[in-house]
Amino acid sequence: MRLIFGVDIGGTTIKFGKFTEELKLLEKWSVETDLSDYGAHIVPQVAEVLSAHMKEQKIRKEEVLGIGMGIPGPVTSGGYVEKCVNLHWTGFNPVTELQKFFPGFVIRAENDANVASLGEYFQGAGRDASSMMMVTLGTGVGGGVILDGKILTGAHGIGGEIGHIATDPTQEETCNCGNKGCIDQCASATGIVRKAEKLLKSLDQASVLRELETLTAKEVCDGAREGDELSVRIIEECMYPLGVGLAHFSHAFDPEMYVIGGGVSLAGEVILDAVRKGYEAHLFLTGKGADIRLAELGNDAGVTGACALIAKE
């Protein structure tokens, strides 16, 4: 049996997973990301953690099939990262850098949202699909498209950036990207809080949300799940435009399945119901649409997909 290491590098923590060739998770752990010196220590840190683990567990080099990495920014061919704001990298290649510590190892890197999508595709909600889009609802909205087991990176680095499809004409604020009405502005945790504050102010409707000192997306999702009417309305208004965006994508690419993940998706079915409403209302000849499901791997999607870069190459 040979092993694969999956590494999911984030701006706060670096997650590690040790897997079999069949993508069975054997062990996982994480460390805080060392962001000092413009992120110059991150790759050495990854190398040190993996070397220490191999030494401790008496894993020989020959037993390791490879190391896959997820990077929180656009990654082009060969693992090159033009700019990664969260890690302070500019014009840097984490693959060639990590290779210096592990000569002869197979090492791969891809964008973290794409890598998480790959994880869900092979081991999570998408394991029976041949084509899939994963949408990650967190602080922002990201996504990844997988076709026949391969990540679609896109020709100009905007593949999977479904958060910036503009389908919410009710947005008044301008998005970080410069446009208006982006899915990112409504279906993200930030968007849910913004919508909640707006509706709490403009409506008289009673709600459990009014009793809270600080309002977060989690409380709105909890409220919706427990049937609080205003919370349900907030979630519906936030998720409907996402459903519209998925319908748009289905008309061109027509994936077999959509998988909704990220922190906000933990709210469960209440999210899916609202997404499906927007999706079905905008679909050509309704009834032929894609399956829309919740993600299954949670925080393990990244390390799993990073390993899939090696195992499924």
Residues of the shown chain interacting with a second copy in the complex, contacts defined by CB under 8 A: 129-131, 133, 143, 145, 147, 152-167, 169, 177-179, 182, 244-245, 247-257, 281-286, 288-290
To a second copy, the closest distance from the beta carbon of 83 in angstroms equals 11
To a second copy, the closest distance from the beta carbon of 291 in angstroms equals 9
Closer by beta carbon to a second copy, 110 or else 161: 161
Distance of CA 245 to the CA centre of its chain: 17
CB–CB of 302/115 below 8 Å? Answer: yes
Closer by beta carbon to a second copy, 16 or else 121: 121
Closer by beta carbon to a second copy, 92 or else 249: 249
Q: What is the end-to-end Cα distance of the chain in Å, rounded?
A: 18
Closer by beta carbon to a second copy, 226 or else 254: 254
CB–CB of 297/308 below 8 Å? Answer: no
CB–CB of 53/59 below 8 Å? Answer: yes
Polymer length of the chain? 313
CA distance 147 to 127: 12
To a second copy, the closest distance from the beta carbon of 176 in angstroms equals 10
Give the residue among 302, 311, 204 at the shortest CA–CA distance from 8.
302
To a second copy, the closest distance from the beta carbon of 57 in angstroms equals 40
Helix (H, G, I), strand (E, B) or coil at 93: coil
To a second copy, the closest distance from the beta carbon of 284 in angstroms equals 4
CB–CB of 133/245 below 8 Å? Answer: no
Closer by beta carbon to a second copy, 3 or else 165: 165
To a second copy, the closest distance from the beta carbon of 16 in angstroms equals 30
Closer by beta carbon to a second copy, 256 or else 296: 256
CB–CB of 81/94 below 8 Å? Answer: yes
Residue 181 Ramachandran class (φ > 0 left, ψ -120 to 50 alpha, else beta): left
Total Cβ atoms within 10 A of residue 307: 33
CB–CB of 124/301 below 8 Å? Answer: yes
Secondary element (H or E) of residue 18: strand 13-20
To a second copy, the closest distance from the beta carbon of 254 in angstroms equals 3
Axis crossing angle, helix 229-252 with helix 269-281, rounded to the nearest 10: 50
To a second copy, the closest distance from the beta carbon of 50 in angstroms equals 33
Closer by beta carbon to a second copy, 107 or else 290: 290
Closer by beta carbon to a second copy, 77 or else 214: 77
